[in-house]
Amino acid sequence: MRIVRSVRLWLKDGTSDKLYEVDLVENDALASDHRFLVNVRYGRRGALLREGSKTPAPITREAADRLFDSIVVSKLNGGYRRVDQPAAGLDAEPRGAPGDAAALGGRGHVLMARLEACLRSPWPAKELDRLVWRIGELRLAAAGPALIALAGRQGPARASYSLVWALARAAGGGAAPTLEAIAAGATETIVRDLARFALVSPLAGDARRPDGGGDLPEPVARAAQARNPDALLGALTDLAGREPVRVGNTLVVLGRMAQGDPALHAALAATLLRLPARPPYLIGLRRLFKHAEMADDAVLFAVTAHRFETAQPMYSARRSGSGRPYVPELRMAVPIAEVHGAPDARVGLSEATLFYFKRRIWRALRKRAEVADPAFAELAAAFLLSLRPQDMARPTTRTSWRREENGRWSREDRVSGPLARNWTASQLLCRNDPAIRLRYGSLTAQEAPARGEAPGTRPEAFPSLWDARPDLALDLAADSACEPVSRFGVRLLKAAPDFLRAAPPAALARLLRATDIAAQGIGFAEARDRLAAGDADPALLAALLAAEAPEARRLAATRIDGFSTLPWSDPDLALGALLCPHEDLAEPVLRWARERRVAGAAGQALAGRLVAWLLERPSAPDEGTEALLRLVRARMAALWSTDRMPLMPEAIEQLMAHPAPAVVAAGVDGLALSGADAGAIPNATWERLLGSPSVDVQSAALGLFGRLDDAALAGHAPLIVAFATAPSPGLRRAARPLVARLAARDPALAERLSRALIDSLFRSGPDETYPVDTVALLREAMPDRIAALDAGMLWRLLQARAAGARLLGSTELPNRPFGIFSVRQIARLGGHPHAAARHWALAAYGADPARFQAEAADAVLLVESDWPEVQDFARDHFDRWPDEAWTPATLAVVTDSVKPEVLAFARRLLRSRLAPADAAAQLTRLLEHPSQAMHLIATELLTADAAASEEAFEKLLPLARIVMLQVHKGRVAKDRMTAFLRGEALRDAGRAARIAPLFTDFSLSGVGRDRAAAILALRDIAEAHPQVATPLVRRPVPERAA
């Protein structure tokens, strides 16, 4: 016994998970031809399979092959899939050419036999349509003559939709006359349209017919001729509002026209992607989908399938339970029977119809994949590429209960991913994923814990077909903005390492520009490996420069830094460097432009390509494009700073005639860099450039203006000065070197201009950068005028409220000696808003400590600065002063502050530097201090000698009331104040009379501890000074009997 053929089939549908195995067995012990058996095994996957046989007695090999193929075909038609050879046909032998009956093995023979049978005797129409449809699916070329004969027998008027489908796909160009007859004589519109589409599609081959466009409304025809998706969408929308009945046929005609026009094909696809799957577009979308399915038109198939996969049903007849379902969009119930089939119906796409299309989309792909049709990968990739980020839903989690094998119930979290409701995408990406549960009833996918391993190890459907097209994997990874699709492409690329290693730099550039970080990562890894192996291909470096990942750009910049001839020796790399928009490459590219020269031929090629790029810019560029153009202009100026830029006059004229001002500015720069004589430029050109409303054009014209000699430039002095003070920062910076030349030539002009500019700094500028630009202009163009400013003007500048005046003063101050200002002025500069002024003041303190100690009362004003670095310097500097420098007046300046950080420093000074003889004077000042932070230090200075004067005692009483009436704070200060007042009251009767009312008030308020201390103090005062009135009444202790 030996097994001749064997097939293993698998079916997973909801909770059903079954295997079916078929074996063709030869019994070697039998000598006759009847020695073959067909045995089967079937059952639930994971369980013991049941065995059976389809042959009670041995049969011949031919009969066994037919029976074997019949069993396999019936199971495949029932939804089973092969798991032993997922991408192969039914036979174990190698396949022939697609559509060859011999290559299709038993299936092809069976279909051909049935087709011949229906030619011999009539078949039921339904059975015949199923047969020819399957032949068309397989593109069985051997069936072409029989199909043509069948069509001839039926006649054009009776030709069915399935027959046209089969003729177009199986017979191709050979069926062109038959299809023409059907297109002219079929009774059904959908059959005629399908035949017409087949004649203009690539299926017709050499017999392909041109299509003139048919009956198109004039606005739609104009938009189609312009190949503009926006115009086409607008024309169709307008047509839907005026004549909705014509929309469906218009879309069908556009689909035929697009078959021979790639530009219109792309525009139509972009338009369809924006049309809703709603009447009146619904009919046209349905027919275009079927036409694209027949012709394997990947793009049209994808966009029409996308509209159905992402659509929502208008109504559900199943839920309504009647013939008048409620349509939420119309806010009314609609009698479906009355509007069904009407060309102008407002209702369409029921839930059942939507589910039908979703199943049909996936079936069209699955049937192709099961016979290893190469069109599967192209159609599937196009559909996945049509998905956009907005097509993804927010993932949701639902908890359900499931019963375990031991009978217990447990909770299970089921997650609906971003593409859970996209049935085709879920099948393509997750069909073999054990963690995904495909729900065939609701056409959704849910993530659930895996309960066993699937036969395949990769989650996607038909992985071997994807492995055969790694180029499509590159498209998915690089071009898809939908993360699950891009990650799928990355996974396929990782499974094809040889393809990625052999990919050209342009392919890596696409990966590096991808939106998905995983795609960028795989492209960067490959580029890094190539560079590590010594490959310094300029095209690869250009791809890295244009990458989205910063590490990729850094890698390219590092490699370019190591080669002195790069990047300007290669035209592609040079143009990529010049046009790089990323901020992290702004400095390296500008440095390469300044330090590395471009050779003659390379420079000419680069200049030509740069001009071509500039001319392609739109007439109204966005902000990003304008910013890039300014970067390119700066790099041009650096690259051709010493050599002339090789530009022809015609190219410069084209640039200066461009409608975008930013491009015109680049043309003016090119005119200057090409070495043109500025003196020979006509006045009309100067007036046009300098009078342009664009700041970019004006600044470029000023750069060209600078090529005039000094004498010619002086004649335009008023205009240049006006630009130097213009509201635009770009114009001010461009005019600055010209003003410097004018000032050096005309001292009188420099004097007048410097006074005017300094006066303007005391006023508000037109923008935030005006002060910076004006100060830079004064320092660059008129430095001697700034150096001649006297101390009074400099102090006025430093103390001005205007930011520009303060900036000029702080800029000039470091150039002046420390003796220009007094100690008090220098101390005030410690709080200046500009760091340059503050640092100059601190340097003055450190340069001559004796000067500042001699005027200590003014010098210590430095502690009032709000800047932390100045405060740190002041504390450190003043701590080093000798004790004799800290006079009572100097200490008073510090202690009079109200800033917490200064008061902390003051308390430290009082505790360390206060002389006993000065305590009374300091106490008098501290008793008037408003800050509670100084109360404790005041109580430390309370002595009989310090408070001996009546002035100090009068100031003490209000402070005592404040300190004693504080709630839950100042405990030490309260105790000290109580003890001092009690002692003073006991010592002097006059003071006791003034203190007793305080203690009376304290005994009525405050916490218990303070009240008790006040009562005891009143008792002691009454005993020491009976004449002082107190609220206390002494009661005798009652006598008690023994």
CATH code: domain of residue 707: 1.25.10
3-state SS string for 542-598? HHHHCCCCHHHHHHHHHHHHCCCCCCCCCHHHHHHHHCCCCHHHHHHHHHHHHHCCC
Six-digit token string for 499: 């393809």
φ and ψ at 805, to 5 degrees? -65, -45
Same domain, 104 and 164: yes
Instruction: Tally the domains of the chain.
Output: 3
Six-digit token string for 316: 């559900």
Mark which of 330, 364, 386 sits at the end of a domain. Answer: 386
Six-digit token string for 700: 């470029």
- Collapse the DSSP code of 333 into the 3-class scheme (helix H, G, I; strand E, B; otherwise coil) and give the result: strand
Same domain, 601 and 684: yes
CA 99 to chain centre: 47
User: Rounded to an integer, what distance in angstroms lies between the CA atom of residue 148 and that of residue 179?
Assistant: 9
Does 288 fall in a domain?
yes
Q: 267-286: string of b/e by CB count within 10 Å (b at 16+)? A: bbbbbbbebebbbbbbbbbb
Same domain, 249 and 121: no
pTM (2 d.p.): 0.67
Does 203 fall in a domain?
yes
672 near 703, Cβ under 8 Å? yes
Does 643 fall in a domain?
yes
pLDDT digits (tens, 9 = 90+) for 612-624: 999 999 999 999 9
Does 90 fall in a domain?
yes
* Cβ-based neighbour number of residue 925 at 10 Å: 16
**Which residue type sits at 978?**
T
Six-digit token string for 393: 């839903």
User: Rounded to an integer, what distance in angstroms lies between the CA atom of residue 826 and that of residue 844?
Assistant: 8
User: Rounded to an integer, what distance in angstroms lies between the CA atom of residue 562 and that of residue 566?
Assistant: 8
User: Rounded to an integer, what distance in angstroms lies between the CA atom of residue 979 and that of residue 987?
Assistant: 12
Domain that holds residue 595: 531-777
CA 300 to chain centre: 29
Six-digit token string for 276: 């809703």
Does 809 fall in a domain?
no
Does 170 fall in a domain?
yes
Residue 66 CB-half CA count within 13 A: 10
Mark which of 179, 207, 235 sits at the end of a domain. Answer: 207
What pLDDT, on the 0 to 100 scale, is given for residue 822? 95
Does 437 fall in a domain?
no
Mark which of 743, 777, 811 sits at the end of a domain. Answer: 777
Six-digit token string for 828: 């005030």
Six-digit token string for 339: 């509007």
- Collapse the DSSP code of 176 into the 3-class scheme (helix H, G, I; strand E, B; otherwise coil) and give the result: helix
Same domain, 289 and 245: yes
- pLDDT < 50: residue spans in the chain: 85-98, 451-456
What pLDDT, on the 0 to 100 scale, is given for residue 321? 61
Same domain, 84 and 11: yes
Rg over alpha carbons for the chain, rounded to the nearest Å, is: 47
Same domain, 10 and 36: yes
Same domain, 692 and 564: yes
Same domain, 200 and 245: no
What pLDDT, on the 0 to 100 scale, is given for residue 92? 33
Closest-CA residue to 842 (of 814, 883, 880): 814
User: Rounded to an integer, what distance in angstroms lies between the CA atom of residue 423 and that of residue 820?
Assistant: 84
- Collapse the DSSP code of 151 into the 3-class scheme (helix H, G, I; strand E, B; otherwise coil) and give the result: helix
Six-digit token string for 417: 């991913």
Closest-CA residue to 460 (of 439, 440, 445, 475): 445
Does 869 fall in a domain?
no
What pLDDT, on the 0 to 100 scale, is given for residue 374? 92
Sign of the CA dihedral running 684, 686, 691, 692: positive
Residue whose structure tokens are 């007695």 = 57
Six-digit token string for 23: 């074996």
Same domain, 178 and 259: no
Please tell me the chain's helix, strand, coil percentages from 3-state DSSP, rounded to the nearest 5. 60, 5, 30
* Cβ-based neighbour number of residue 867 at 10 Å: 15
Same domain, 14 and 87: yes
What pLDDT, on the 0 to 100 scale, is given for residue 823? 93
Six-digit token string for 945: 């000698």
Same domain, 723 and 585: yes
Same domain, 761 and 715: yes
Six-digit token string for 456: 């395949």
